[in-house]
Amino acid sequence: MRTARGHWAVSAVLFVMGVLLVVQFRAQTANGGLSNLTTQDLTTLIANLNDRNSELRSEVADLQAQLRTLQGTQQTGASNVGQLQSELQQLRMWSGLDPVRGDGVVIIIDGPITAAASNEILNELRIAGAEAMAIDGVRVVPGTVVGGNPGGLSVENVALPMPFHLEAIGDPANLQAVLQRAGGVISRIAVAQPDVTVEVAATTMTLPGTDRDLDAPDAKPQL
Amino acid sequence: MSALVARVRRIPSWQFTLGVALLVLGFLITAQLRSLVPRTQYDSSDLPPLRQTAQELQAAQDQLKAQILDLRAQVQAAEQNGQGNAAQITALNAQLGDARLAAGLVALQGPGVVVSLRDSTRPVPPGAAPGDLLVSAADLRQVIDLLWLSGAEAVSVNGERIAVTTPLTDIGSSVLVNSSYLQPPYQISAIGPADLYTRLATSAAFVAYLQNRAQAVGLDVALLQSNDVQVPAYSGTVNLIHARPVASPVPGGSASPIGSATP
């Protein structure tokens, strides 16, 4: 009788101990995310989120206006053809299917640059708000990546000559500032790959539409 | 002396077990209470102001994205009920469908690969910075670029679709994709041809990445082949401010002029 009571007591204590162990372990591992960021990082993050959210708010406003116009036209019985054509044109330019024209920068690269550094320049151009880009006349669409080894780079299976140029449409001052800032991508390449020269100039350009099919043949729309 | 030994021997063994267990329990309760003290400072009630602002902004962004996806679906539905020349409306909707697919505005599923990347758990070696042992934006870009080169058709990271304008940047020890703050571990989902996994796993550049970077510092990179990879729709802006149409025949072979489309 006494032994049985003892077993119950031990079981109860072990149970509580197990629960506490798990709670303690979880408390230790759940300490990820924002709490790892310094004040400096948080300030950068907040600036990014602020910019992005105001962009998204204007996208929401645009879509609401677009929807109102569509529905308004439908009530009056007028044709929607013009609206659909206008949206089609914007989507085709944005996605890279159609050629575009505008102000931006041209970057001339000479020397044995790595593929990773070339792709890093493209990423920096996106950070600076580039709206359309091309690598030596090949329009950049999702999946357009510089590949190969230094001296033998290629894009979409076409060999890149030396020198080659990257073009980006966007605010020229902003694009130049991001590329050329102290510690930016160009100064990093100058340190890591001293044989490579990278020159940037503002210009007006026309970028071609892509030659690629962007129809994702192996994918299906989610239901 | 022998009386004491005899007395100790009379104590049942379960009392010893219970005694030891209670001792450990006491330690655990103390550890738990102590660890609670600093943690309560990070609860939402009194977060440091910057952290709270960042959290609120990220929550607002998530809401805006959901709203954009919803509005795009409504616009698409309204366009499918568009009025005008029926044949022209049908043709335009088909072209819009292709353009949405090309822009990444359609959520996709299909065969492909999921690559997961986790921070190194090794101790920081002397001379190295702790950040070197974490998954960075450069790691994600490298793997994503190699997936594209292996034939991927649609890619996302932790629910953020990689669109034509998507940048990946580091913020401290974490990564922003489409200006959205992502928490490790990172999962890159890619849809592509049946041999996407083989092409990636056997590509010289990927093997070099694993050896020179991942294995060198102990990043945990895992590849999973799947017949049902899900890639969400891009929920960001498709606005163009600096890019203008090139004066040329209307895209998609349609014969009618765009008219007042240029702002």
Residue B252: its pLDDT value, please?
47
Question: Distance, in angstroms, between A181 CA and closest chain B CA?
Answer: 16
3-state secondary structure of B124: coil
Chain B interface, mutation test: which of A21, A35, A76, A90, most B Cβ atoms within 10 Å?
Answer: A90
Residue A140: its pLDDT value, please?
97
For A85-132, how does the pLDDT look when each residue is reduced to its tens digit (9 = 90+)? 999 999 999 999 999 999 999 999 999 999 999 999 999 999 999 999
Nearest residue on chain A to B104, judged by CA atoms?
Answer: A95
Is B91 in the A-facing interface, judged by CB distances under 8 Å? no
Nearest to B164 among A24, A140, A169 (CB): A140
**At A24, is the pLDDT very low, low, confident or very high (cuts 50, 70, 90)?**
low
Average pLDDT of span B70-91: 92
Q: Which residue has the tokens 């009379």?
A: B10
A-chain CB neighbours of B86 within 8 Å are none
Residue B257: its pLDDT value, please?
41
Q: Which of A20-24, A67-71, A136-140 has the lowest mean pLDDT?
A: A20-24
Residue B249: its pLDDT value, please?
53
Nearest to B96 among A82, A87, A215 (CB): A87
Give the range with max mean pLDDT: A32-41, B11-20, B81-90. Answer: B81-90
Q: ipTM, 2 decimals? A: 0.83
Residue B27: its pLDDT value, please?
76
Per-residue pLDDT at B92 exceeds 90: yes
Q: How many CB atoms lie within 10 A of CB B8?
A: 9
Residue B40: its pLDDT value, please?
39
Nearest to B164 among A67, A95, A147 (CB): A95
| Cβ atoms of residues B217 and B122 within 8 Å | yes
Report the percentage of chain B scoring pLDDT > 70: 86
Average pLDDT of span B143-171: 96
For B101-154, how does the pLDDT look when each residue is reduced to its tens digit (9 = 90+)? 999 999 999 999 999 999 999 998 888 888 889 999 999 999 999 999 999 999
Question: Distance, in angstroms, between A183 CA and closest chain B CA?
Answer: 14
DSSP state of B104: T
Indicate yes or no: CB of A56 within 8 angstroms of CB of B236.
yes
Residue A5: its pLDDT value, please?
72
Nearest residue on chain B to A52, judged by CA atoms?
Answer: B179
The encoded tokens of residue B97 equal 């469908």
Residue B228: its pLDDT value, please?
96
CA B73 to CA B57: how far, in whole Å?
A: 24
Residue B26: its pLDDT value, please?
77
Direct distance between the N- and C-terminal alpha carbons of chain B, in angstroms, rounded to an integer = 103
Report the percentage of chain B scoring pLDDT > 90: 63
HEC states along chain A? CHHHHHHHHHHHHHHHHHHHHHHHHHHHHCCCHHHHCCHHHHHHHHHHHHHHHHHHHHHHHHHHHHHHHHHHHHHHCCCCHHHHHHHHHHHHHHHCCCCEEEEEEEEEEECCCCHHHHHHHHHHHHHCCCCEEEECCEECCCCCCEECCCCCCEECCEECCCCEEEEEECCHHHHHHHHHCCCCHHHHHHHHCCCCEEEEEEEEEEECCCCCCCCCCCCEECC
Average pLDDT of span A190-205: 96
CA A218 to CA B91: how far, in whole Å?
A: 24
Chain B interface, mutation test: which of A8, A31, A52, most B Cβ atoms within 10 Å?
Answer: A52
The whole-model pTM stands at 0.80
For B210-262, how does the pLDDT look when each residue is reduced to its tens digit (9 = 90+)? 999 999 999 999 999 999 999 999 999 999 999 999 975 544 444 444 434 33
Is B224 in the A-facing interface, judged by CB distances under 8 Å? no
Element (H, E) at B113: strand B108-118
Per-residue pLDDT at A29 exceeds 80: no
Q: Which of residues 16-75 of A touch B (CB under 8 A)?
A: 16-17, 20-21, 23-24, 27-28, 31-46, 48-53, 55-60, 62-64, 66-67, 70-71, 73-74
Q: Which of A134-138, B7-11, B48-52, B242-246 has the lowest mean pLDDT?
A: B7-11
Sequence-separated contacts (24+) of B54-57 with Cβ below 8 Å:
B54/A34, B54/A37, B54/A42, B54/A45, B54/A46, B54/A49, B54/B181, B55/A34, B57/A46, B57/A49, B57/A50, B57/A53
Indicate yes or no: CB of A77 within 8 angstroms of CB of B142.
no
Report the percentage of chain A scoring pLDDT > 70: 94
Q: Which residue has the higher pLDDT, A165 or A223?
A: A165
Nearest to A56 among B145, B154, B237 (CB): B237
Indicate yes or no: CB of B179 within 8 angstroms of CB of A51.
yes
Is A219 in the B-facing interface, judged by CB distances under 8 Å? yes
CA distances to B39, B43, B54, B57 from B46, rounded to whole Å, are 11, 6, 14, 17
The encoded tokens of residue B80 equal 């499918």
| Cβ atoms of residues A43 and B50 within 8 Å | yes
Indicate yes or no: CB of A95 within 8 angstroms of CB of B35.
no
